[in-house]
Structure 1
């Protein structure tokens, strides 16, 4: 189904010949393009090239790419999809409940186009969100209520690592912000992920929240509570000046009834003492303050790679959380990719701002921070067409 090509600089090496060749050999193919934030201006050229060859194009912008198991700040990753799957792009998702409900209905209808089957052969929804949408978990929950385990799930968050609004999704004609790109992938097993963070024994309550904003914890202002918890749990002195430096290493965890812990990395703070995270925090949810020794995180990624390597053949697209890399540091994160490489070969993908997937086949899909996600596609032989 997929073939990857990386262009570090499209001004020096144009993908025009590649796209024309794909169209000649696979008339029904399309392109999924992952663009590094530094090369945002390349999107206009991508659109012209694909439109000229009548090749459908969809894509997203990520802080960085992963090519040959290495993080890279520049370039564009072309992924041939044959045939081009059914897809949709919607924007303005944060403009009200009606728009959110419209999105859920349309994505569920897209999922209904996939045939139900065994785990290895049923279809999957791959969903890429603008990272600034505040209620991604609620959207996923609503989709699962409509589709259940009839389809598999995977996805990631696109956008800028600065968390400034930007047009981070695109097709062959337009760019979009505050949007969602969803693709219906046939004969696809979805995505598997791990994070490796461990919870403390102490728990707290998110007593007032709104989407991805925490107003209070244990009935005290969120930032005041966070500073106190960090000092009591780990002996840390956190203040407004060092918050952004320290918080990525000690994120919140949401305790789930199934034994999972969802990581929520704080990325913003306002004058009222509210804390903003990537991913929503349900009101009255049980929180813990997480820690993540580097070796523990890397062990979880290696275990995931081993699990993925045992699955029936194919290639994996990797989404690696930017917050995870910030926590580990570039040297340790690069080492983690190198160790995963030993199980899976060259790693290709993007640095993401949140990850969507399951921890095991058929389990409930969740929106995570701090994770490594592998999305597997079956290899496709010359001339194959899965339509």
Structure 2
């Protein structure tokens, strides 16, 4: 059984275009609506709030650097998807300024099999909130999602709910559907490790007791042909992320987004006194890691199941790094999805995944695919 009642895409980004798309979507009688939009939607404000006042079903979504529909990457547009089953949408406000322990959360019912999390990528304390929310998640529940925002990294409203547009917020979407998760990045160690001896949530202040920006720029320039004086910081940094060493010998990728003073702002927290590597990538290995993870997840399905619809949250800096090769990654992932099912998603600023060992992580430069299971049709 499909998860999506219908999917609509339009290249025009306006509240009027959104109205038309949702009117078409409503013919499929959805019980909830996801709205994914490109950067222009960040300025909708009052017009959007007025429009959604008239909707009587749950909605959620966000503003992202790009959209994914089947095997296509769309740098601009509106993508709306209707849900066949009921969903519940909750909004957590003031993520950067309030303690997660001030939340009045209640345990999520065991009938909830998955939770999508969308967050303002520029918020502080994202990891702290994720770990707190995890306390209320039932066993065997899949959790996945991504960070919303735009590539100019300007704080602004970037999330949608039935209450309007939100900034510095986190959205939780409870679903009865069970999604199997596939995660892969393919980045390799170039230099390090370096001790992150001084950090402040998502800002690395010092590496090896040296201003973080100074060490990072020196090492990258020493291993490449790039000069930071001649390029915007992120134009170079997208190719050389950090790898945060974990106890299982894996690395959690952290994207350095911009320089602030002599520190580096990352998409996700960096705990103090952790060891960081500077990573590099090869296009073929990145594509193989993402598509291989999807193929491996599908191979674990029983004979009675096939893949139904797919959510794909792929890091925007993977697309910026892969450029034309990004189409190959989308083609190979979507090829695993049997017709008439759909792949929908977005380029995100941080990817969220609850792994099989129970660790809820905010990744960077990673592809996270959520795969719904459908019953295999038995031939008569």
Q: What TM-score do the two structures reach when normalised by structure 1?
A: 0.84
Secondary structure at 1:203 match in 2: strand
- Tell me how far apart the structure 2 counterparts of residues 258 and 286 of structure 1 sit (CA, whole Å): 13
Question: Which of these residues, 143, 162, 175, is aligned with residue 185 of structure 1?
Answer: 175
Determine if the alignment matches structure 1 residue 276 to structure 2 residue 265.
yes
Q: 1:17 to 1:379 in 2, by over 3 A?
A: farther
Corresponding residue of 1:175: 165
State how 1:296-315 maps to structure 2 within 5 Å.
296-310=285-299, 311=301, 312-313=305-306, 314-315=308-309
Which structure carries more helix by proportion? 1
Deviations 1:165-193 (A, max 9, x none): 12111223421100010012224235332
Q: 1:15 to 1:145 in 2, by over 3 A?
A: closer
Corresponding residue of 2:186: 196
Corresponding residue of 2:335: 342
Determine if the alignment matches structure 1 residue 214 to structure 2 residue 226.
no
Q: 1:170 to 1:16 in 2, by over 3 A?
A: closer
Question: Which of these residues, 297, 320, 325, is aligned with residue 319 of structure 2?
Answer: 325
Determine if the alignment matches structure 1 residue 14 to structure 2 residue 14.
no
Corresponding residue of 2:87: 85
Contact 1:93 1:178 in 2 (8 A): yes
Contact 1:87 1:181 in 2 (8 A): yes
Corresponding residue of 1:33: 35
Question: Which of these residues, 88, 94, 97, is aligned with residue 95 of structure 1?
Answer: 97
Corresponding residue of 2:351: 355
Q: What TM-score do the two structures reach when normalised by structure 2?
A: 0.85
- Tell me how far apart the structure 1 counterparts of residues 225 and 273 of structure 2 sit (CA, whole Å): 25
Corresponding residue of 2:280: 291
**How far off is 1:48 after superposition?**
5.7
- Tell me how far apart the structure 2 counterparts of residues 248 and 221 of structure 1 sit (CA, whole Å): 20
Secondary structure at 1:350 match in 2: strand
**How far off is 1:246 after superposition?**
1.6
List runs of 5+ in structure 1 lacking aligned partners: 116-121, 381-387
- Tell me how far apart the structure 1 counterparts of residues 234 and 26 of structure 2 sit (CA, whole Å): 46
Contact 2:48 2:164 in 1 (8 A): no
Secondary structure at 2:179 match in 1: coil
State how 1:132-171 maps to structure 2 within 5 Å.
132-145=122-135, 147=137, 149-171=139-161
**How far off is 1:93 after superposition?**
1.3
Secondary structure at 2:199 match in 1: strand
**How far off is 1:162 after superposition?**
1.4
Question: Alignment RMSD, CA only?
Answer: 2.7
Q: How many corresponding residue pairs? A: 360
- Tell me how far apart the structure 2 counterparts of residues 20 and 154 of structure 1 sit (CA, whole Å): 26
Contact 1:198 1:291 in 2 (8 A): yes
Secondary structure at 1:300 match in 2: helix
Which structure carries more strand by proportion? 2
Contact 2:309 2:343 in 1 (8 A): no
Determine if the alignment matches structure 1 residue 246 to structure 2 residue 236.
yes
State how 1:31-70 maps to structure 2 within 5 Å.
31-40=33-42, 51-52=53-54, 54-70=56-72
